[in-house]
Amino acid sequence: MLLEAIEDITKLALVVACLYFGFGAYVRRRQPAWADPLARRRAGILLLLVLAASAI
């Protein structure tokens, strides 16, 4: 049971990390108008990704 919980947490962390870095790469490449406010709110974006991924 503990091993399954660790496995699920690892999967969740991997999904969040991939989304975070993929979204960051998109923003750096495209440079949309909302890139600067997004860079200042990185912790909030990461929190939103964690909450969205855990809701799945």
CA distance 9 to 32: 32
Report residue 32's pLDDT band, with 50, 70 and 90 as the boundaries.
Answer: confident
Give pLDDT, residue 18. 92
Tokens of 29: 């490449």
Write down the pLDDT at residue 21. Answer: 92
Amino acid identity, position 50: V
DSSP-derived secondary structure for 10-53: HHHHHHHHHHHHHHHHHHHHH--TTHHHHHHTHHHHHHHHHHHH
Q: Tell me the domain boundaries of the chain.
A: 15-55
pLDDT at 22: 92
Instruction: Name the 3-class secondary structure at 56.
Output: coil
pLDDT of residue 36: 86
- State percent of the chain over pLDDT 90: 18
